[in-house]
Amino acid sequence: MEDRHASLSSFFLLALFSFILSYSCSTAYSNTALVAPIAYDPSTSLYSVSPLGGPPFDRPLLLNLDSSNLWRDCMHPLLRSPPLEPVLYHSAICKSAKVQSALISGDPGYIFGCSGAPTPVCSNFSCSVYASASLRTSPSAVLWTDTISLLSVNGSVPGKLIRVPKFAFACSDDILLNSDAAVPANAVGAAGLSRALLALPKQLAAKLRMKRRFAYCLPLSVVAGRGALFFGQTPYIFPPGGDFSNRFQYTPLLNNPQEPDSYFIGVESIFVNKVKLPINASLLQLRKDPNIIFNNKMGIVGGTSISSTLRYTRLESSIYDALAREFSSSAAAIGIQAVGAVGAFETCFNKSTVTVGKGGFRIPVIAFSLQGSNGPMWEIKNHNTVEFVEKFICLAFQRADQFQPRSIVLGTFQQQDCLLQFDLDGSRFGVVPNLSSSWSGCSNFKFGSTT
Ligand SMILES: *[C@@H]1O[C@H](CO)[C@@H](O)[C@H](O)[C@H]1NC(C)=O
Ligand SMILES: *[C@@H]1O[C@H](CO)[C@@H](O)[C@H](O)[C@H]1NC(C)=O
Ligand SMILES: *[C@@H]1O[C@H](CO)[C@@H](O)[C@H](O)[C@H]1NC(C)=O
Ligand SMILES: *[C@@H]1O[C@H](CO)[C@@H](O)[C@H](O)[C@H]1NC(C)=O
Ligand SMILES: *[C@@H]1O[C@H](CO)[C@@H](O)[C@H](O)[C@H]1NC(C)=O
């Protein structure tokens, strides 16, 4: 009786203690923002993020909305020895490594039969997962846990490094790093930002009891400097424009049951100088296609997804034609001379016939009207609209090939100097399309002397 009483009261003490512990944890980090710089690599047109923590994440990683985990090349001779704890196949963490994205779909695998001593990419009884880079995926990565650290920020003042113990990430060999344009120069892996449980947004939020939310702002060029990736709490301060966190226009994040880890939004119509393009509305919706079978079910096609690795927005063929036609006729109306295709672009113009006005080049304005109660508009102006190719400027959109199931994939060229927020708790996507009209830019975030 005595013993039972003692163990009961110690149980309550323990429960109370863990309640206090979890409560203090949640108050400690629920107000925290974590931040990491983003850099543009012109040789691959990809963006990398530097977590700013200590090893094993002290080197740049590909910024990848489609990647289902954080992975790195653990065989790289310059990098530290392998982290210590492999995730076992029968553990809960391994079960949560299931993924379903545009690139891959599947359960984690079981590794048994490594010959010799364990290596970062082979360890008996461990959990084998996918590592995704831009356009490519390797199925041979192994899940481990280690402490990672990220820089915290208080408003615009950089704070201390926050340590995240037992963070699950994948170790891969160097197959992906050695394949063409799979990751930015100098990158050693990828920072996965998908909706998968082990990708950074959900895993960080679970570990630190933060909001399941992140935002990024892609810099305009190498010269402009570094952009920023934020997790958790706002504000998002870009001087001199100040805090942009209350200037978002929101649209719901849509669920595609075939790719629940990817980010889809609803584009309702597209305008050029306020003229609505004649687009077949059903192309803009996610819809079942009886001619496509995916995992033994009818495939889901159409709709709009957001990419952090595709450079120029790709449009289904008839949508591209409608945009190019209206853009060209609006351009012709203000004396801009069309020259046809140049290089990788179908729709180009003679640069010396374009005049410069107050906000940059005087060219037609493209706007995407998004699903939502207040009719949010994503205006795509100037530097997000045209690319320079020699003496020409070209409409910086491309025609999708027949294998692209999405009608619109929003590329990074159109996202530059825009602040994008992915709010997983609120199931919504926010955009501030015009940092530059407040004389701000994605490179204006101050990382302070820590970097
Ligand atoms: C893995 O298991 C195989 C087969 O039993 C064995 O030969 C090998 O030595 C083991 N490797 C390690 C690293 O434990
Ligand atoms: C953040 O900054 C504000 C204003 O400077 C200050 O009052 C607050 O204590 C700081 N919070 C933390 C966690 O450092
Ligand atoms: C619109 O697109 C859908 C899906 O591709 C197609 O089935 C339909 O025939 C199209 N409608 C028109 C009027 O072209
Ligand atoms: C571009 O426009 C300029 C000025 O109107 C003209 O001199 C030049 O010949 C044009 N170039 C082409 C390739 O049409
Ligand atoms: C920025 O864009 C939003 C939405 O398109 C608009 O409401 C706002 O007035 C714009 N701000 C500036 C400074 O242009």
pLDDT in tens, 161-186: 898 989 999 998 888 888 887 899 98
Has residue 353 got a pLDDT over 90? yes
The reply to whether ligand 3 has any atom less than 6 angstroms from the CB of 282 is: yes
Q: Are strands 366-370 and 360-361 parallel, antiparallel or unpaired?
A: unpaired
Q: What is the mean pLDDT of residues 335-358?
A: 95
Has residue 3 got a pLDDT over 80? no
Q: What is the pLDDT of residue 7?
A: 40
Please report the DSSP string for 133-174 in residue order.
-SS-EEEEEEEEEEEEEEEEEETTEEEEEEEEEEEEEEEE-S
Q: What is the mean pLDDT of residues 236-248?
A: 92
- The pTM for the full model equals 0.90
Cα of 63 from ligand 2 centre, angstroms: 29
The reply to whether ligand 3 has any atom less than 6 angstroms from the CB of 280 is: yes
Mutate to test the pocket of ligand 5, among 250, 271, 437 (most ligand atoms within 8 A of CB): 437
pLDDT in tens, 140-159: 788 998 888 888 988 778 88
Cα of 32 from ligand 2 centre, angstroms: 10
Has residue 294 got a pLDDT over 60? yes
Mutate to test the pocket of ligand 1, among 124, 128, 142 (most ligand atoms within 8 A of CB): 124
Q: What is the mean pLDDT of residues 249-256?
A: 96
The reply to whether ligand 5 has any atom less than 6 angstroms from the CB of 440 is: no
d(CA 72, CA 168): 12
d(CA 237, CA 445): 6
Has residue 347 got a pLDDT over 90? yes
The reply to whether ligand 5 has any atom less than 6 angstroms from the CB of 433 is: yes
Q: What is the pLDDT of residue 58?
A: 79
Has residue 314 got a pLDDT over 90? yes
Has residue 25 got a pLDDT over 80? no
Q: How many CB atoms lie within 10 A of CB 197?
A: 19
Has residue 4 got a pLDDT over 50? no
Give, rounded to a whole angstrom, the gap between the first and last alpha carbons of the chain.
60
Q: What is the pLDDT of residue 1?
A: 35
Q: What is the pLDDT of residue 306?
A: 98
CATH superfamily of 249-437: Acid Proteases (2.40.70.10)
Instruction: Kindly list the domain boundaries of the chain, sorted by start residue.
Output: 249-437
Cα of 314 from ligand 5 centre, angstroms: 25
Closest CA to ligand 1's atom 5: 113
Q: What is the pLDDT of residue 41?
A: 95
Closest CA to ligand 2's atom 8: 154
Closest CA to ligand 3's atom 12: 280
Weakest-pLDDT range from 120-134, 208-222, 311-325, 396-410: 120-134
Q: What is the pLDDT of residue 140?
A: 78
What's the pLDDT band for 359 if we cut at 50, 70, 90? confident
What's the pLDDT band for 82 if we cut at 50, 70, 90? low
Has residue 236 got a pLDDT over 80? yes
d(CA 252, CA 264): 9
Q: What is the pLDDT of residue 6?
A: 39
Q: In this structure, which ligand is nearest to the CA of 419? A: 5
Q: What is the pLDDT of residue 173?
A: 83
Under 8 Å between Cβ of 121 and 173 = yes
Q: In this structure, which ligand is nearest to the CA of 157? A: 2
Q: What is the pLDDT of residue 80?
A: 54
Q: What is the mean pLDDT of residues 114-133?
A: 83
Nearest by Cα to 303 from 324, 325, 284? 284
- Token pair belonging to 27: 């108050």
Q: What is the pLDDT of residue 8?
A: 38
Bigger pLDDT: 67 or 373?
Answer: 67
What's the pLDDT band for 39 if we cut at 50, 70, 90? very high
What's the pLDDT band for 395 if we cut at 50, 70, 90? very high
